[in-house]
């Protein structure tokens, strides 16, 4: 997305040159500056720092729910094997770590895995992740699946219904560091006040030479920011479902 925008701005600068040379030069300089600020990692570093949160070890209560948000699943070429995407493994690890910590404290702890078949592999993400959790020692009786959601908003909507039925004392929300603020926003809309548990932290690579890695990070940041902006616009227009009062679960 970022590269496409920069390319279109360069094209615009070129077309403007024949009639509006000063404007064309201004657009060209602005676009070139943006290319280096993003590619050299300066802007992604600033935006990532504002968007991500650090992980905090929760104090376990009597009944806890650890919510694991899906990050996709892929079918391996020429096989029927389905694996989590690369960003999902840190979430699965963090969920397992929190679960074992909770069980060690002697408190009640359930894991709710939320994720449908968004990438059309034939198997919901929640089912794929459950197998890995079982392999590393999570008790099957402590796992609940939400297999209908195709995006973060639906993760929050469908999972909040499960939480409401369980009547837990504390909700821990596990997702990627880059995704945590948007996820918390969506869950709060459905009355879920969760403790954030970001499973990873992404940093930009600041250098004198532009890097495709930094452009990729910028795309990810824009995706999250646009998701937050879209949520507020939909709320203003009344397109989202009616918000649930905090603490009503």
Residue 244 domain-assigned?
Answer: no
At residue 83, the 3 state secondary structure works out as: strand
Beta bridge partners of 66: 111, 172
Encoding tokens for residue 221? Answer: 């940041």
Tokens of 80: 């029927």
Q: Contact 115/146 with Cβ under 8 angstroms?
A: yes
Q: Which residue's entry shows tokens 């694996």?
A: 83
pLDDT value of residue 247: 59
Structure tokens at 42: 């300066």
Give the start-end residues of each E strand in 120-237.
143-146, 170-175, 195-198
Q: How many residues does the chain have?
A: 249
Number of domains in the chain: 2
Domain match, 27 and 79 both:
no
Output the pLDDT for position 21: 85
- Do 41 and 128 have their domain in common? no
Task: Residue 181: name the closest of 68, 51, 4, 88 by CA.
Answer: 51
For residues 107 and 42, state if they share a domain: no
Q: What angle do CA 122, 222, 127 make, to 5 degrees?
A: 20
* Statement to judge: residues 61 and 83 lie in one domain: yes
What span, in angstroms and rounded, lies between the C-alpha atoms of 90 and 87?
6
Are 100 and 112 in a shared domain?
yes
CB crowding 95-117: b at 16 or more within 10 Å, else e: bbbbbeebbeeebbbbbbbbbbb
pLDDT in tens, 142-177: 999 999 999 999 999 999 999 988 889 999 999 999
Report strand pairing: 73-75 vs 82-84: antiparallel
End-to-end alpha carbon distance in the chain: 39
pLDDT in tens, 106-156: 999 999 999 999 999 999 999 999 999 999 999 999 999 999 999 999 999
CATH classification at residue 67? 3.40.50.620
Q: Are residues 112 and 171 in the same domain?
A: yes
The residue ranges of DSSP E strands in 108-147, in sequence order, are 108-114, 143-146
**3-state SS assignment for residue 148:** coil
Q: Is residue 116 assigned to a domain?
A: yes
Domain membership of residue 185 as a residue range = 57-202
Same domain, 86 and 72: yes
pLDDT at 166: 85
Task: Say if 68 falls within a structural domain.
Answer: yes
In three-state secondary structure terms, 171 is strand
> What is the SS3 assignment for 173?
strand
DSSP class of 38: H
Q: Report d(CA 16, CA 120) in Å as an integer.
A: 44
Which residues on adjacent β-strands are paired with residue 165?
none
* 8 Å CB contact between 170 and 65: yes
Query: What letter does residue 196 receive in the DSSP assignment?
Result: E
**198 and 208 fall within a common domain:** no
Q: Give the per-residue pLDDT at 83.
A: 96
Looking at residue 249, what is its pLDDT?
Answer: 52
126 and 191 together in one domain: yes
Residue stretches of the chain with pLDDT short of 50: none
Tokens at residue 5, please?
């925008």
Same domain, 185 and 80: yes
């Amino acid at each position: 997305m970022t590269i496409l925008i920069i390319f279109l701005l360069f094209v615009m600068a070129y077309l403007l040159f024949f009639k509006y040379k000063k404007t064309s030069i201004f657009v060209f300089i602005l676009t070139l500056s943006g290319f280096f600020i993003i590619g050299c990692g300066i802007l992604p570093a600033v935006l990532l720092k504002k968007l991500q949160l650090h992980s905090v070890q929760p104090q376990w209560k009597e009944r806890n729910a650890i919510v694991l948000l899906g990050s996709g699943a892929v079918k391996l070429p020429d096989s029927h094997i389905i694996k989590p995407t690369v960003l999902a493994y840190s979430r699965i690890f963090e969920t397992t770590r929190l679960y074992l910590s909770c069980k060690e404290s002697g408190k009640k702890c359930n894991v709710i895995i939320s994720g449908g078949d968004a990438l059309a592999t034939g198997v919901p993400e929640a089912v794929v992740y459950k197998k890995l959790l079982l392999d590393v020692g999570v008790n099957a009786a402590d796992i609940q699946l939400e297999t209908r959601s195709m995006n973060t908003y639906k993760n929050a909507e469908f999972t909040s219904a499960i939480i409401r039925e369980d009547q837990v004392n504390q909700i821990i929300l596990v997702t990627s560091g880059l995704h945590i603020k948007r996820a918390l926003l969506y869950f709060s809309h459905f009355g879920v006040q969760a403790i954030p548990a970001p499973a990873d932290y992404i940093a930009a690579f600041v250098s004198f030479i532009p890097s495709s890695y930094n452009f990729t990070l910028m795309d990810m940041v824009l995706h999250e920011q646009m998701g937050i902006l879209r949520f507020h616009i939909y709320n203003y227009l009344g397109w989202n479902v009616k918000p649930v009062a905090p603490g009503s679960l």
